[in-house]
Structure 1
Amino acid sequence: MMMISKAEAAASLSEADAIGRRTRTAGGYAMAGPHLILWGAVWLVGYTVTGLVDPRFLSLVWLPLVPAGAVGATVLGRQARTRDVRFGATPIRSLVMAVSIALFFLAVYLVFQPAALAPYLVFSALVTALIYVVIGVYGWPRLGWIGAGMFVASMSAYFFAGSYLPFCIALAGGGGLMLGGAWLRTV
């Protein structure tokens, strides 16, 4: 019978813990990837159409897109559960999250009432970028990099895109999420 030292046992346990963390992170990335691609597509369509219509009709652009994204996210969550990937998402939690986010943006827009269209367009991109950076800080670094990229691209568009801002935000946000989702799927 071979005996191992306390140091060897501690090193083995530490290595097992690190493998477990990497496995959970990879599983999380695998689940997050399709969600980022979905919401990136919603974003890309929404902001592109936003750039093409009269600003008075923006609610008509986004009103069908957000619920469609929420339904798609619910379907993706159900598929993930059938693959035994569990991160606490349920259809009701997905719905509550989508409605909460939509109400948050609506409330901010009602309270601050920007006089121009640009703040409306950039605010959601910046909040989304912040969320991904915060998630990245708490253990999912690829999401942090996606958020940082979205932030830089959105602010650059805000200052330099002029009348092309909706299309640049479509690419910065929607394209960034879709590319990020594809990147997460490579883990």
Structure 2
Amino acid sequence: MTSVSKHEAQAALSDIDSVTRRGMALRSYRHAGPILMLWGVIWGLGYLGMARLAPEYWGWMWGGLDVVGVGGTLLLSSRLKPADGVLPGQTWRTSLGMAACVAFILAIVAVFPKTELLPYIALPGLFVGFLYTVMGVVMAAWRYALIGAVVFVAALLGYYAWPQYLAEWLALVGGGGLFLSGLWLRSA
């Protein structure tokens, strides 16, 4: 009978941990894909609305779209079961996290002066890009980090390169990018 050394046992446990984390990340990607696709459509519609509507209608438009997005996210999340790798209460934690993000963006809008609209158009892209990047790094879910970095850089690029078309740019690269990213995650 061959005995296993302490080093071999640690290496085997490390491999098991690595495979487990990878499996969790892949399940997370598959579950997040449809939600990201939903938000891609919402972003596309919202930013196209910003390009076409007067600023006094933006809050109402985004409010309605956010209600649809949160409702859709809850519906999609509620279909997940613990057997899918979803932790108990994850749907509500996700919803509370989304609500906190929306509240954070609304607080920024509320306290900063409204002298120029362009920064407010770029803010969600910058914030969501940053959030996904951090989430991807913390969770070692590199697809999230890549999606976040692309959205963040695209928002900055549009802000500086094509400020007069920023809303349309973010509808295309933000909304379209989130939708395509959702397809990519779903296929993981």
Pair 1:60 & 2:95 matched: no
User: Which aligned runs of 4 or more in structure 1 are off by greater than 4 angstroms?
Assistant: none
Aligned residues: 186
Q: Which residue of 2 aligns with 1:81?
A: 81
2:62 and 2:39 map into 1 onto residues whose CA distance is 12
Q: Deviations over 1:13-64 (max 9, x none)?
A: 2221111111111111111111111111111111111111111111121121
State the AA in 2 paired with 1:38: L
Distance 1:73 1:10, change over 3 A: same
Q: TM (normalized to structure 1)? A: 0.90
Distance 1:5 1:103, change over 3 A: closer
Q: Which residue of 1 aligns with 2:171?
A: 170
8 A Cα contact 1:40 1:176, kept in partner: yes
2:4 and 2:24 map into 1 onto residues whose CA distance is 28
Q: CA deviation at 1:80?
A: 1.7
Distance 1:68 1:116, change over 3 A: same
Distance 1:12 1:108, change over 3 A: same
Pick which of 177-186 and 116-125 moved more: 177-186
Distance 1:117 1:42, change over 3 A: same
Structure 2's unaligned 5+ residue stretches are: none
1:62 and 1:109 map into 2 onto residues whose CA distance is 13
Q: CA deviation at 1:83?
A: 5.4
1:81 and 1:6 map into 2 onto residues whose CA distance is 37
Pick which of 105-114 and 118-127 moved more: 105-114
Q: Which residue of 1 aligns with 2:132?
A: 132
Q: Deviations over 1:50-100 (max 9, x none)?
A: 111111111121121001100100011111227533144234x44433433
The two structures, once aligned, show a CA RMSD in angstroms of 1.8
Distance 1:62 1:10, change over 3 A: same
8 A Cα contact 1:48 1:166, kept in partner: yes
Identity %: 36
State the AA in 2 paired with 1:129: G
